[in-house]
A and B are shown apart, each in its own frame.
Chain A
């Protein structure tokens, strides 16, 4: 890493004397010039200190004007560029590239937004809009006068990924990464790999065998060079920054494995909801959870016999441990997504074994989304009865009848038959239990994983960055992030693998140079900046025999939160230094008339 050297070079550099700034004011084909007197803006700013070239253009973004700017930069030896046009969101990238192509440091470019902020906002006030544009452009010029050439921090990245969790998601992510040439270390807490799916029999919707699926995947993982699989192992320590993490893994009681990795993928899966005794009759013989029911079904063949009693009637109670809003007593608010399909699938397997078994499904909404709908349809076609209850009036499970009778009774008000109250006799009551987060306090602490209100790991954004966390380089996938079925977990695992490969395959990462820097001469280590940083980017380093604060550039996001808290004004944000901000304010305040 070239962290320290970079900082010294930029912060220690003298301000260039006698700026040569090019200013370009855009008509935007009338979008701006209809409401802003572009020529008057030009008149007002062309003699600002440091301005060497000032022009207007019909479209500054057009190829022709871009070329003209590039020529001006070379011909006049410009050391700053200001374009007054639209939002930087639209064209900051464009004009930074123009600067770069012409040999000017892209960070010596400032975009001034006189379209969204002037012409579009003040269509009723041409003079006012023009005035505002002049002030904004002067501010931009002032900022550019004291801009410094900055270079992105380039950090080498380690082409190796740590995958935490060797369920189907973790294994598939590992395989995907190794197939594109990255090394992978997989850490599994349990002695066996494969997670939940390894213990499953027939999976819906196609009837493939879960155990066989995992075995096949494991064969591929073992045959793939570059994957190290550590079972009975836990991640205990992580240090370093994105691209260069050092991790420590404890395997068994004694062995410690250390590795350098560029990124971490967390695929720790889920736990199923375990209802406390009394919830829907939990604790009574014959009241089972969905996983228990599944194991029961997979353990036998032929007609169903539970604890020595033939099973003639099954009641499924849905949304146990899920969707527990205020009316349902509180708890997990979320829908567990997989259970409707899973329960429907199992009821079809029951029908395979013994079509005479009466099956009652007590539900709130059946959520067999997409092509899982076929499971629901099949279940109904094969005689399952669906009974809808209101969340405020959940079914009541009670027991025991005499010998030979079904021993459980479920009372429910059926909304589908005008609120009729039904008493259903059942040999088995299956509580269709949802997914809950796994207890992972240790891992959360080690990786600083963000945990949501629901206890699930949080991605940055479900659409923009669905597998990334706020910790750079730490990715999440599978059911630890939110309930998913097996194939959905695998899809998200591969998406995480893709994200990992996207950042590590290049071998280096460029980090935005707009970060905070601490002047060690001014810093008296008062300690106020450390807690101000939301990214823990500030560390204490020795400096000439004392300790001072220092910003780790690879971690800093340039948010600026540390700058105002420093009583010694020792912290500056590159690109937005105090000097630049003050100059901008002066520019904005200068009278325009």
Chain B
């Protein structure tokens, strides 16, 4: 693709250049990094000296630009590089940022905005109010299309092995939309209640707020969601959770995910029409159940084969009820069976090929690690030696061993060992000892699990190994030896002992919890296995060595975590579905997460940070513990709201998917990604504008510390027809200001901030605001503190005189500093030149800093390093300001507007016209030469 001219920047200068060039007949590519053209001018209230409404002047130009047949406007696009070629033309790399909304389909109806669960400061309103993550830049945006701001994956969601959009459900809980939150988790796994209790919550480990007062209770929020839904729906609706959830969404037009027209991509909550395919899932643990859920939603007939008497895998068999009540697991599983998934229990599958011959089109092997490893020491076969899995399964089946008044030694340092030890206490054991090789700090069990076990009365013997188990015909005790190192220097598990340091413990019962292994021996002839007896798979597609057999979960990875197994189940389902539909297996497509956001950047953007303490844990631990009742109390609705309210919205978009569901045009494309295009152009107009001086660099004026010190741009927003508060209110307390001060030359004519130059327009915009304030607040006094009033252009001095006639006071004198009073008023300390230079003080209730310009470094970055010359103040240098205003140091590159130095709007427009005709002349010259 080629264009005659590239215009970089869609502000007033860029639009003017583009329009003039296009009217002359040249084809123009206009690249604008924001989602709308309009630049800074559209942000303004009215413009001097005519007091026209800025929108009224801007929008016709914006519309004319976007609709012009010879202008192509690329919004949300950044020019990455412009390189001049030998023939005098330019190669341009244009990066199109993903907007996550199909810009052609979007009608600008704002339904996404209204459904969005995230609020962030609204740049259009200078941060005075909030906007949503899904938003249209401002009411007059051209093109009027929504975009979704996604800075990346939020760390919590990125950390979730199950692929749950944690930030999304946190945001939904914050919004009080519990049912939608429940559905969002269902998009990843049906085991909502199980994970809400028994997940080890890597999301919380990664939570950015953890760097401040402590992480959000993300897991407990999930439990809250599940408890709330299950309380309202003790049994699932006949057609599954999808239908149950849909009830609460009545009235919202069209669930995009249930749209038959998108049957090629059925969403996880709306079962697709039956595919006619059958899938067998072997093993009803987290991996198998999650896979079955996704397969059923995709329209496949799924049958789950479970060897044990109850489905649920380790959460059902091995996690004690005080952590995970069994009715919760059962209710989670009911989500699946309501969808028509058949679960056959007590059905041990020994021959995969038989399943194939029984008519299953694909098989998923998800049998986990169902066998407990045994200690390989003397005495380990004695009666009274058992595994933790046996103990816990007995507890969960209602047939626990009798440990009353017994002394129990639990061997192992993981969470299962802790569970066994704490269960033993609950079964009435008199004394429970936990023996582990690791020192306490190295134990694989979570530190808080260990703490809780100790609080309940378990006694820890860390850094000890079992040398042998003592006893003649029954266990009487264990002999320990000091473990000096658990791992060798390469990090491999290889315990070393000091055989001279030993200890003996008495024991009636020894419970071994030293690991779990898969039960795969019977498959050795059918599938390729790894040396550790796990099933060998392609890690991306989870295909085994048999084409129709996939494997997922711990049987592949070895003992892992519940969410990791869920994640593998989801991946396996995705792959099986693609295989059944004859599509290629692409490991990339399962995971459409964006890279995680930088936590430092997230913390850095918190301008006004409020300390919010985490919720208390709320567990009441007693020693010895009594019974298997659930330890952790549920969150109340208020706690859930407060807990979720601490979210920093790290990735901005929470991925709650509400916009996806409500968009009537089905335009939301969360899987969109950026793209890069290359163009050839004949000339370049740089119209990247300016940035505003950051007022906090002048700390003596208190911006950022005193809420009632604002910038000129903020005042312009307060005065604009699209103003945020529909009145001029001071931000600190919403009071209507009565004594307003302007401090001119904030950041201009000021060596102390490195800018000795004048910014040209601040006097005038202040005077304009004076007049508007006197109209909006007839009782307010306005005082302008400054050195010279620079009303130099056509009609400006008359405008200044008009403000004086209207009653604005102008005080000659520079303000040294601003202090704040108890009621939020501000005292200006200044030299009053007109009163003989006395040092004076004046109290005001609102101070407006007339901030000036700073260069926009984006201009230089467009070109290879150093090619585009800039002046002393870092604005784009004009090579011959006298005869060729706008011509830069690079032949064929022109600058329009304030990118070359401070300019007001009329001067920018004239300058842009000058750049346009010179760019046209250049195009003609190069064209003539070739």
Q: Residues of A at under 8 Å CB distance from B?
A: 28-31, 58-59, 61-64, 89, 93, 168, 172, 176-177, 179-181, 203, 206, 208, 213, 216-217, 322-323, 325, 333-335, 337, 340, 365-374, 377, 388, 415-419, 456, 461-464, 466-467, 481-483, 486-488, 490-499, 501-503, 505-506
Contact = CB atoms under 8 A, between A and B. Distances in A.
5 contacts: A31-B109, A59-B665, A463-B905, A466-B909, A482-B793
Query: What 5 pairs between A and B have smallest CB-CB spacing?
Result: A418-B836, A495-B913, A29-B109, A482-B794, A494-B914
A35 B149 CA distance: 31
A382 to B, nearest CB: 15
Interface string B26-68: 0000000000000000000001011010000101110100010
Given A418-B836, A461-B50, A490-B885, A59 B109 contact: yes
B749 to A, nearest CB: 6
A461 B905 CA distance: 12
B910 A492 contact: yes
Interface in B823-842: 833-837
B253 to A, nearest CB: 8
Contacts, number: 211
Given A335-B796, A373-B757, A388-B812, 13 more contacts: A172-B883, A179-B921, A179-B925, A180-B24, A365-B789, A367-B788, A369-B790, A370-B757, A415-B833, A456-B794, A463-B50, A491-B907, A502-B19
B460 interface: no
A365 B792 CA distance: 10
Given A180-B924, A217-B883, A418-B836, A462 B63 contact: no
Contacts of A365: 788-791
B801 A29 contact: no
Contact of B873 (A61, A176, A325, A371): A371
A218 to B, nearest CB: 11
Given A29-B664, A176-B917, A495-B914, A490 B883 contact: yes
B247 interface: no
Interface in B738-792: 749, 756-760, 788-792
A365 B810 CA distance: 12
Contacts of A208: 882
A296 B798 CA distance: 33
Contacts of B789: 365
A464 B907 CA distance: 12
Nearest to B47: A463
A502 B881 contact: no
Given A93-B63, A179-B924, A333-B801, A490 B914 contact: yes
A419 B916 CA distance: 51
Contact of A417 (B837, B881, B907): B837
Contacts of B835: 418
A501 B836 contact: no
Given A179-B925, A325-B801, A334-B798, A488 B107 contact: no
B107 A59 contact: yes
A494 B798 contact: no
B179 to A, nearest CB: 23
A456 B760 CA distance: 23
A498 B111 contact: no
Given A217-B883, A463-B905, A181 B924 contact: yes
A62 B107 contact: yes
A417 B836 CA distance: 6
Contacts of B794: 334, 456, 462, 481-483
B568 interface: no
A463 B59 CA distance: 13
Contact of A372 (B47, B758, B797, B884): B758
A168 B881 CA distance: 13
B886 interface: yes
Interface in B357-404: none
Contacts of B67: 93
Given A483-B794, A494-B913, A415 B834 contact: yes
A419 B836 contact: yes
B25 A505 contact: yes
B658 interface: no
Interface residues of B, number: 76
B792 A61 contact: no
B61 A464 contact: yes
Nearest to B12: A463
B612 interface: no
B339 interface: no
A539 to B, nearest CB: 29
Contacts of A61: 107-108
Contacts of A501: 20, 24, 917, 920
Nearest to A420: B836
A418 B838 CA distance: 9
Contacts of B24: 180, 498, 501-502, 505-506
B885 A367 contact: no
A242 B281 CA distance: 81
Nearest to B908: A463
Interface string B856-894: 000000000000000101000000011111100000000
B929 interface: no
Contact of A498 (B52, B834, B914): B914
Nearest to B253: A58
B57 to A, nearest CB: 5
A418 B837 contact: yes
Contacts of A502: 19-20, 23-24
Interface string B714-733: 00000000000000000000
Given A487-B882, A505-B24, A463 B909 contact: yes
Given A462-B906, A490-B885, A494-B885, A369 B760 contact: yes
A486 to B, nearest CB: 6
Contact of B757 (A374, A464, A498): A374
B479 to A, nearest CB: 77
A464 B23 contact: no
Contacts of A488: 907, 910
A374 B23 contact: no
A369 B792 contact: yes
A488 B900 CA distance: 13
A503 B23 contact: yes
B795 interface: yes
A494 B918 CA distance: 8
B911 interface: yes
A374 B749 CA distance: 9
B401 to A, nearest CB: 65
A202 to B, nearest CB: 12
Contacts of B59: 89
A392 to B, nearest CB: 12
B313 interface: no
A502 B19 CA distance: 9
A331 B876 CA distance: 39
A495 B17 CA distance: 10
Contacts of A28: 109
Contacts of A333: 797-798, 801
Contact of A176 (B25, B881, B918, B925): B918
Given A180-B921, A456-B794, A491 B107 contact: no
B805 to A, nearest CB: 10
- Greatest chain A CB density within 10 A among B756, B759, B883 is at B883
Interface string B502-543: 000000000000000000000000000000000000000000
Given A388-B833, A462-B794, A502-B24, A368 B758 contact: yes
A177 B913 CA distance: 12
B695 interface: no
A367 B798 CA distance: 15
Contact of B885 (A340, A462, A487): A487
Contacts of B20: 498-499, 501-502
B25 A29 contact: no
Contact of A506 (B25, B57, B110, B910): B25
B61 A486 contact: no
B104 interface: yes
